[in-house]
């Protein structure tokens, strides 16, 4: 068995991952104790070595995980988001605590607790789902803004003479459509239009059909994950 095969076996070993999770939690606990001056005065000889050795273990773990990809596939390690996340957190924790870097270095040391997100399968899967959800929110948000902007222009030119308060400017038209999409003051916003052009009710129906379609798309897409 080659060295790289052994390292891959270690990196994928559940016991090794549990050990790293334990060290992350222990490291977070000792970082918390470090904030108490009285505790540091009495137990600094214990706290400081634990923090140093935990940092060294994180470095060893990252090296093992990189080498586990074999002699020709190191770059594949960085294709995974969580691998890049872990590597960055460990690297930044080595910033020197001198001068202006003191506060920044301490912040990044504390951020090592965030590695629990990458170690825990449950939390990692949740965040992966959350990232996909936010991507969908971003896409639907862009569609909503484009449709709202387009309708603002169309309804501005169509209705500004009838109701200048709600449709007299492009800005007012945009705000009116946003309020309508939230089912706020619908009759107040569109009532005068319907009195003059009753057929405009079809514009309102079409608008809400589009909005409902986007909402249904959002929830059905999430339910499939």
208: tokens are 């809400």
* pTM for this predicted structure: 0.53
Co-location of 129 and 217 in the same domain: yes
Residue that terminates a domain, selected from 119, 136, 168: 119
Give the list of residues 6+ apart from residue 9 with CB closer than 8 angstroms, or none: none
Considering the domain architecture, whether residues 7 and 37 belong to the same structural domain is answered as yes
Sign of torsion over alpha carbons 36, 40, 42, 46: positive
φ, ψ of residue 96 to 5 degrees: the values are -70, 140
Summarize pLDDT for 6-44 with one digit per residue, the tens.
888 888 887 888 888 888 888 888 888 887 888 888 988
Helix or strand (DSSP H, E) at 149? helix 121-159
pLDDT band per the 50, 70, 90 thresholds, residue 126? low
Q: Check whether 78 has a pLDDT greater than 70.
A: yes
pLDDT at 29: 86
Same domain assignment for residues 41 and 138: no
Q: Which domain holds residue 16?
A: 3-119
pLDDT tier at 101, thresholds 50, 70, 90: low
The closest of 189, 194, 163, 193 to 177, measured between CA atoms, is 189
**Confidence class for position 131, pLDDT limits 50, 70, 90:** low
Mark whether 75 and 154 lie in a shared domain.
no
Asked whether residue 104 carries a pLDDT value surpassing 70, the answer given is no
Grouping H, G, I as helix, E, B as strand and the rest as coil, residue 179 is helix
For position 143, what pLDDT does the model report? 77
Q: Are residues 84 and 9 in the same domain?
A: yes
Same-domain status, 9 and 107 = yes
Is there a single domain that holds both residue 97 and residue 128?
A: no
- From 63, 87, 119, the end of a domain falls on 119
All residues at 6 or more sequence positions from 79 whose CB lies less than 8 Å from its CB, including other chains: none
Q: What is the mean pLDDT of residues 114-140?
A: 68
- Average confidence (pLDDT) over 62-74: 82
The last residue of one of the domains, among 119, 150, 174, is 119
In this structure, what token pair is assigned to residue 138? Answer: 């971003």
Is the per-residue pLDDT at 2 higher than 80?
no
The pLDDT score that the predictor gives to residue 106 is 65
Averaged pLDDT for residues 131-155 = 78
CATH code for the domain of 138: 1.10.287.70
- Average pLDDT rounded to a whole number, residues 78-102: 76
- In terms of domains, do 13 and 79 share one? yes
Does 133 share its domain with 183? Answer: yes
- Phi first, then psi, for residue 69 (nearest 5°) are -80, 0
């Amino acid at each position: 068995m080659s060295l790289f095969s052994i390292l891959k076996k270690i990196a994928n070993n559940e016991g090794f991952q549990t050990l790293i999770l334990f060290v992350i939690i222990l490291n977070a606990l000792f970082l918390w104790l470090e904030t108490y001056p009285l505790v540091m005065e009495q137990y600094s000889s214990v706290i400081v070595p634990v923090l140093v050795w935990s940092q060294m273990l994180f470095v060893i773990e990252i090296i093992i995980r990189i080498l586990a990809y074999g002699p020709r596939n190191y770059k594949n390690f960085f294709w995974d988001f969580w691998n890049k996340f872990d590597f960055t957190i460990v690297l930044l924790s080595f910033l020197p605590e001198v001068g202006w870097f003191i506060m920044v270095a301490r912040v990044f040391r504390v951020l090592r607790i965030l590695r629990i997100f990458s170690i825990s399968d449950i939390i990692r899967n949740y965040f992966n789902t959350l990232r996909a959800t936010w991507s969908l929110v971003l896409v639907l948000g862009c569609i909503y803004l484009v449709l709202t902007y387009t309708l603002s222009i169309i309804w501005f030119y169509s209705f500004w003479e009838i109701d200048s308060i709600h449709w007299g400017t492009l800005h007012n038209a945009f705000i009116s459509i946003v309020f309508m999409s939230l089912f706020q003051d619908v009759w107040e916003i569109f009532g005068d239009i319907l009195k003059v052009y009753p057929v405009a009710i079809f514009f309102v129906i079409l608008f809400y059909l589009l909005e409902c379609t986007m909402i249904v798309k959002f929830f059905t897409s999430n339910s499939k994950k």
